[in-house]
Amino acid sequence: MRIDIVSVLPELLESPLQHSIMKRAQEKGLLEVHLHDLRAYGLGKHRQVDDYQYGGGAGMVMMAEPLANCIDGLQRERAYDEVIYMTPDGQRLNQSMANRLSMKENLLILCGHYKGMDERIRQHYVTMEVSIGDFVLSGGELPAAVLVDAIGRLLPGVLNDETSALFDSFQDNLLAPPVYTRPEEFRGWAVPDILLSGNLKKIEEWRYDEALKRTLERRPDLLEEEE
Ligand code: ADE
């Protein structure tokens, strides 16, 4: 999979993509991420990318022309399955959205800044708008890093144990069950007997029950979600 990300602050995206699982995904050639500095498409001597909003009001708006020029250039090179704009007023990211996006070939992600981007870009280029939650961050870079991580780890071959993503929280709309590691007893707190029993069938049942209990207690809304 190839992901292109357009940003006025591409440096913000470098570190999150250069470590751990995202690093491995790229080293294995399963994920290619390309960062594009919107400033390179800025207008005039000052490489302007934002301007005052029509109608007045505080805050700058990302100009249509630099964005359009950048996107046009990228789209001449390849067709994108989705042109995604990271914005708090987008569709809320969840596991099923990450699953669906992980099956695409080419994604283009646009990071918003300031008051957001000129509406005409949203109307004429953007095919999908994604929010990572009901709060406002100062730009779309961290949300883009979150989205790329959520997608990247799902690509076949990225995780060591190929099945492990299948048991993540939210797959099957269930939260993950509790997990334990050595020692069997720590400060008098014991690991549940069942996990030491070696009875794989019983362990699986226990995990399912615990996952269900946890979901009912913490996120009953997940059990009502149709997907
Ligand atoms: N940009 C600023 N806040 C955001 C959010 N919550 N989700 C996606 N993009 C954003």
Q: Which residue of 13, 86, 130, 141 sits with most ligand 1 atoms within 8 Å of its CB, as the best mutation to test the pocket? A: 86
Q: Is the peptide bond before 183 cis (omega within 30 degrees of 0)?
A: yes
Closest-CA residue, ligand 1 atom 2, reads 137
Which residue in 65, 106, 55, 57 sits closest to 84, CA to CA? Answer: 106
CA atoms within 13 A on the CB side of 190: 5
State residue 163's pLDDT score: 60
What average pLDDT does the segment 2-19 reach? 96
199-222: average pLDDT: 97
DSSP class of residue 40 equals G
Which segments of the chain does DSSP mark as H helices, in order? 11-17, 20-27, 64-77, 95-101, 119-124, 141-152, 200-218, 220-224
CA 133/CA 175 separation, integer angstroms = 18
For residue 60, the model assigns a pLDDT of: 96
Q: What is the pLDDT of residue 65?
A: 98
β-pairing verdict for 60-62 and 50-52: antiparallel
CATH 1.10.1270.20 segments of the chain: 169-226
- Which pLDDT band, with edges at 50, 70 and 90, does 91 fall under? very high
| Cα-trace Rg, the chain | 22
Of the candidates 144, 101, 107, the residue with the CA atom closest to the CA atom of residue 126 = 107
Report pLDDT for 157. Answer: 93
3-state secondary structure of 16: helix
* Tens-place pLDDT, residues 20-33: 999 999 999 999 99
Task: Work out the mean pLDDT of the chain and round it to a whole number.
Answer: 95
For β-strands 185-186 and 189-190, DSSP reports them as antiparallel
Mean pLDDT value of segment 167-176: 85
CA distance 210 to 204: 10
Superfamily covering domain 169-226: tRNA(m1g37)methyltransferase, domain 2 (1.10.1270.20)
* Edge-first strand listing for the sheet containing 82-92: 32-37, 2-7, 106-111, 82-92, 128-131
Rounded to the nearest angstrom, the distance between the alpha carbon of 57 and the centre of ligand 1 is: 21
Residue 162, pLDDT above cutoff 60: no
Q: What is the CATH number of domain 2-152?
A: 3.40.1280.10
Predicted pLDDT at 170: 82
pLDDT (mean) for 69-95: 98
With a cut of 60, say whether residue 227 has pLDDT above it: no
How large is the average pLDDT for residues 10-27?
Answer: 95
Instruction: Please list the residue range(s) of the chain that carry CATH number 3.40.1280.10.
Output: 2-152
Q: Output the ligand 1 site: residues, CB below 6 A.
A: 86-88, 112, 131-133, 135-137, 140, 143
Ligand 1, atom 4, residue with closest C-alpha: 88
Q: What is the pLDDT of residue 47?
A: 98
Contacts within 8 Å (CB) and 24+ apart, 64-69:
64/117, 64/118, 64/120, 64/121, 65/41, 66/38, 66/41, 66/42, 67/6, 67/38, 67/41, 67/110, 67/117, 67/118, 67/121, 67/125, 68/121, 68/125, 69/41
Ligand 1 centre from 113 Cα, in Å? 9
CA of 201 to the centre of ligand 1 (A): 43
